[in-house]
Structure 1
Amino acid sequence: MEFHTFLQQFLNAWSRSSLDELSEMISHTYQAREITPNGEISDFGYEESIEGWKQGFQFVQESKSEWMLEILSTLPLREDESMAIISASIKVDGKPMETANIFFDTFRHSDGEWKLVRSYVEAGVKMDQNQNMFSKFNPMS
């Protein structure tokens, strides 16, 4: 399976808050680091990640909220690894939150399937609803 096809499946499972599907797409050796808005650093692995997804999905389902997911960029890292930079926020009562989490997710292709193996997350990033998160650098302007 091509990486971009897998990534769409990953985001579809996320947008449906499907813990069963998403947990199958995360490696059991998964490692992550999250930076909170006040600069605290939290390192965690697979089990803590699944618990975090469970809590997030439960909140979205109970509050009848909606995920707002955007692929900001993708890039190949190695022959068997690719990174996706994803902005994730939610709409509560039809209104977008003022912050998002930015995920720098590394996926590895092994034994015929893609799995999320590493993440670096910047949590609570202020969103400007009127411009793209990643502005294009134009040296001619």
Structure 2
Amino acid sequence: MNQSMTIGIDLAKHVFFVAALDGSGKPARRKKLRRHEVLPFLANHPGAVVGMEACSGAHHWAREIRALGHSVQLLPAQHVKAYLRGQKNDYNDALAIAEAVQHGRIRCVEIKTVDQQLDQSLHRLRQALVTEQTGLINRTRALLA
């Protein structure tokens, strides 16, 4: 694979689906990989553009894949959906991700560091606690009324 190769990865809990497109946009390869097989698979290939849908786990994978020398793009899931053809399945999702990366008009999500992800987790936890506290106060006020 060369730099004009685009790889789309559909992330899941245990099994990842990979679809690769050549420089002209034609499907070059599709593969089903377990979690522990993804990095060795990508380590055996020279630099390519790797795309994934942005989620909390995607940031970890992006950091690992970037360390292997690949260019990584995280795409918002709602924008990738437009590239989906045929029935929704994991291979078609990976192919849609690769096509969206190759098209290049979608604004990528910045890859977060571990510290940034920890900060975001703390902010979301605090927001959940504030929401829960507000609900408890409102319930108590209603009971007292």
TM-score, with normalisation over the residues of structure 2? 0.28
More strand by share: 1
More helix by share: 2
Larger C-alpha radius of gyration, 1 or 2?
2
TM-score, with normalisation over the residues of structure 1? 0.28
